Chain A
Amino acid sequence: MPRLPPSLIWRARSISPHAATLLPVCRDIPSALTELRWIREHVESTPSPTHPASIRLDQLCKRRGKGIPLQYVLGTQPFGSLELQCRPGVLIPRPEPEAYSTHLGHLLLANPSLIPLPPSKTLRILDFCTGTGCIALLLYSHLSSPSSPLQRLNITGVDISPLAISLSKLNLTHNISLGALAASTQDKSISFIQSSIFSPDWMSEAQDAKCDILISNPPYISPRGFNTDVARSVRNYEPKLAQVPEPQHTHHPYSQKEGVRQEDIFYARLLDIGAVQRPTVMLFETGGMDQAKRVVEMAAEKLGVDEWKMEIWRDWPDGRPEEEEETAMRIDGLGDVKVKGSGHGRSVFIYRRK
């Protein structure tokens, strides 16, 4: 990273020593002042009987200035209408999953025909690689709201990391206590379990194990990409397990599978599970347009295109495409696939034709 010009540091210091502390991570004064305001607001809204506010402010600014992600320093990240607790060891929720989970929630509420369900049946959603639980919890907040026509709902978040599972459970109770989420009832419930996506349990043919919606933001970065494309503070402070599919962690046969790149391993597994569980809707986050295209191809090959339709959603599925952003993409042997919104190719949306 280029060094900061001394005049900038000097000016930051003349405004506030805290701003100068934050400058190396924030890189410019407006951002440093913005983060300083957030840190200050946090200190004010969480008074401590033992630690004076000025000392806490000092400490938090110092930690942030060292490069520790703001969300670990403050302990939270807003996500839709929720406030998620963040802890080292669990990936911080990003704005993109917030955008596509919200978009999916609205889509499901606006088009109930997307998931034809008899009212007596429970809509089941599986969120693999749930991390903080962010996607599962946000879908739960949309679909369990009083305006939702859904009668019965069951959401399960799955993660291999015990830290992630305890944090996602904490996030459920935290948001219930904030009033941002309704507590589980007999008809509408959400839970989190520790399990690997490669566990044979997920390939069960049993009817009651089947889900209607399969969603996941899995690790999808290649070992090479991890060194070249991942921001330093992410690499230094967030768990690699959440980003790079590593065979030694997963002990699965997919690493030897013909023609599947390491960064795509989780998609191969998700599609195998999809082929058995036959959900109506699947949504997988991807690391960019190239990966999104590969996932579309894998899905077409695994599931076939007579019964299934695929779309690619960009970062902001509700955004208007920029001029250079195509709204359809030709994929070999498949024809044109619709591309929605603006930004990078962020997720692949797969749904069953009637």
Chain B
Amino acid sequence: MFTAPWVCRSCSRLLTQPALRAQFIRGYSTSNGAVSLPTILLQRAQKQRAEHAKLSSTLSTGDFDPKTAKRAGELASVANALKEYEEAKASLAELQALLESDDAEMREMAKDDVEPTTAQLDAAAKKLSIALTPKHPFAEMPCLIEFRPGPGGLEGRFFTDALFKMYQLYCDRKGYRAKVVKYELSDQAGSASGHAGEQPLQEAVLEIEDAGSYDIFRGEAGIHRVQRIPTTEKNGRTHTSAAALWVLPSLQESAGDLASDFNNPESDFYVDPAEVKIERMRAQGAGGQHVNKTESAIRLTHTPTGIAVSMQDHRSQQRNRDAAWTLLRSRLAQKRRDDREEQARQLRSSVLAKNQVTRGDKIRTYNYSQDRCTDHRSGLDVHNLPDVLQGGDGLDRIIESVREVFIQNDIQAAIADEELAASQLEKKGTK
């Protein structure tokens, strides 16, 4: 078993390295003091460089195997980043020696070089840690964004629609291909209507077909909170409501690797048809020739997990069915990944765990009367809410700030995992 002491050692070490803290936690570089990566990361980098060298020589002897080539390609970025890092480090050491020189001119020259070289080292360290951080397994996939109103009735539904439109506009502006997979309104609205044409949204799914959009949008998942005066409010009071967003990986048919072969039980996207309950809309009355319904709703329930999806957006029964299966696969894949991530998280330091935002936490607030959008993970405030809601620059800045936080969290998680593995090895050794 791993015990607390090494955990504390690791996090205290992390925190005593000013440069690292500066980079990883604040995201800017500092120019004073020597920068160094945690030993554990360096060891990992060295191991991977050795592996890269070995693979490269196998490949060069003519044994071409696509799998080996792929792995070598992945490791190449680590090997290169490590080289840059070591070079920067060596030059800095050299400069440090020169600073002690008797030659005054030499000392002056060296002094001028310290700052750019330190910046170089900072950059190299960051590059190396990103290269060492395992890519999210879904990072290169397209994604589905699911929108659901939180509890609290109509106002939440209207706001959910505002968010849906915000992402549509954002994709438009960025040139991403966004497709409406599902857009289901609630019939609860009575005669009320929301701000600026908002509809009472019950559930919607937007697919962003560009490869890699999962990585761009994964930080958007969570609870989005709104504070504003609803159009239905007579006394001018501000209400707080919420919408939940899920970001799911979406399979690209053409990818053709294991993960996307959903017939393979090893794939995260695999669904055993025997475990799925299929329900169709019941015809009122006798059905068949007696009626002519234009809608053909279908609901799939994955019985082991209780995950249910329904679809009725298309006129075509088959398209509804296919879309429902796609959504079910994506939901299951995300859930399986979340479960694994949760397990890994529990093994890591409790300090790190606190940094992680979990599903139930609110991640962002849209405050209409203060004209402000705040992301609670990056701490970024943007003061032009209409621009954010139009999918403008402001939203870009928020999304970027969250991605930065995610990268830092991933690096820290990778360090923690590495240390965990090392300590377990150590344990074995001492036994």
Give CA–CA (A230, B283) in the complex, Å: 12
B288: interface (CB < 8 Å): yes
Give CA–CA (A286, B314) in the complex, Å: 27
Contact B289 A91 (CB under 8 A): yes
How many A-B pairs have beta carbons closer than 8 Å: the answer is 121
B236: interface (CB < 8 Å): no
- A106 → B minimal CB distance (Å): 12
List residues of A (331-351) whose CB comes within 8 Å of B's CBs. Answer: 342-344, 346
Contact B290 A95 (CB under 8 A): no
A238: interface (CB < 8 Å): yes
| Residue ID in chain B nearest A285 by CB atoms | B288
Contact with A along B254-298 (1 / 0, CB 8 A): 000000000000000000000001111011011111111111100
Contact A229 B286 (CB under 8 A): yes
Contact B278 A318 (CB under 8 A): yes
B102: interface (CB < 8 Å): no
Give CA–CA (A31, B184) in the complex, Å: 9
| Residue ID in chain A nearest B186 by CB atoms | A30
| Residue ID in chain B nearest A347 by CB atoms | B288
Interface residues on B, range: 35 or more
Contact B279 A242 (CB under 8 A): no
Contact B313 A231 (CB under 8 A): no
Contact A78 B185 (CB under 8 A): no
Contact A11 B291 (CB under 8 A): no
Contact B289 A221 (CB under 8 A): yes
Contact B193 A230 (CB under 8 A): no
Interface of A is mostly: mixed
Contact B318 A80 (CB under 8 A): yes
Cβ-neighbour of B286 out of A219, A318, A344 (below 8 A): A344
| Residue ID in chain B nearest A26 by CB atoms | B294
Contact B282 A343 (CB under 8 A): yes
Cβ-neighbour of A34 out of B191, B285, B287, B295 (below 8 A): B295
B58: interface (CB < 8 Å): no
Contact B287 A344 (CB under 8 A): yes
Contact with A along B410-423 (1 / 0, CB 8 A): 00000000000000
A98: interface (CB < 8 Å): yes
Q: A30-B186, A243-B289 are in contact. Are A77 and B279 (CB under 8 A)?
A: no
B319: chain A residues within 8 A (beta carbon): 78
B189: interface (CB < 8 Å): yes
Contact B279 A319 (CB under 8 A): yes
Give CA–CA (A318, B190) in the complex, Å: 38
A10: chain B residues within 8 A (beta carbon): 191
A133: interface (CB < 8 Å): no
B184: chain A residues within 8 A (beta carbon): 30
Contact with B along A1-16 (1 / 0, CB 8 A): 0000001101100110
List residues of A (90-116) whose CB comes within 8 Å of B's CBs. Answer: 91-92, 94-96, 98-99
B202: chain A residues within 8 A (beta carbon): 30
Cβ-neighbour of B285 out of A77, A229, A346 (below 8 A): A229
| Residue ID in chain B nearest A33 by CB atoms | B185
Give CA–CA (A205, B279) in the complex, Å: 44
A159: interface (CB < 8 Å): no
Contact A29 B292 (CB under 8 A): no
A35: chain B residues within 8 A (beta carbon): 294
B295: chain A residues within 8 A (beta carbon): 31, 34
- A142 → B minimal CB distance (Å): 12
Interface residues on A, range: 35 or more
A272: interface (CB < 8 Å): no
B187: interface (CB < 8 Å): yes
Contact with A along B307-318 (1 / 0, CB 8 A): 000001111111
B349: interface (CB < 8 Å): no
- A175 → B minimal CB distance (Å): 14
Contact A70 B294 (CB under 8 A): yes
B199: interface (CB < 8 Å): yes
Give CA–CA (A141, B10) in the complex, Å: 63
- A87 → B minimal CB distance (Å): 14
List residues of A (79-95) whose CB comes within 8 Å of B's CBs. Answer: 80-81, 91-92, 94-95
Contact A11 B189 (CB under 8 A): yes
- B203 → A minimal CB distance (Å): 11
A30: chain B residues within 8 A (beta carbon): 184-187, 202
B189: chain A residues within 8 A (beta carbon): 11, 29
List residues of A (28-82) whose CB comes within 8 Å of B's CBs. Answer: 28-31, 33-35, 38, 69-71, 77-78, 80-81
Contact A344 B288 (CB under 8 A): yes
Contact A71 B292 (CB under 8 A): yes
B291: chain A residues within 8 A (beta carbon): 230-231, 234
Contact B283 A344 (CB under 8 A): yes
List residues of B (171-209) whose CB comes within 8 Å of A's CBs. Answer: 184-187, 189-193, 199, 202
Give CA–CA (A217, B287) in the complex, Å: 13
Give CA–CA (A173, B286) in the complex, Å: 33
Q: A35-B294, A319-B280 are in contact. Are A11 and B289 (CB under 8 A)?
A: no
Q: A31-B295, A69-B292, A234-B291 are in contact. Are A288 and B286 (CB under 8 A)?
A: yes
| Residue ID in chain B nearest A93 by CB atoms | B292
A233: interface (CB < 8 Å): yes
- A34 → B minimal CB distance (Å): 7
A320: interface (CB < 8 Å): yes
- B115 → A minimal CB distance (Å): 59
The 10 A-B pairs with the shortest beta carbon distances in the complex, nearest first, are A78-B316, A7-B191, A30-B185, A231-B291, A11-B191, A70-B294, A316-B280, A320-B277, A230-B290, A319-B278
- List 26 A-B residue pairs with CB atoms under 8 Å apart, sorted by A's residue number: A10-B191, A11-B193, A14-B193, A29-B187, A30-B187, A38-B294, A38-B315, A78-B317, A78-B319, A80-B317, A91-B289, A94-B287, A95-B296, A98-B317, A219-B289, A221-B289, A230-B289, A230-B290, A287-B286, A287-B288, A288-B288, A315-B287, A319-B278, A319-B280, A342-B280, A346-B287
Can you add 15 more A-B contacts, CB < 8 Å, to A29-B187, A78-B314, A320-B277? A11-B193, A15-B199, A31-B295, A80-B318, A95-B317, A99-B317, A225-B286, A230-B289, A286-B288, A287-B290, A315-B283, A315-B287, A319-B279, A343-B280, A344-B286
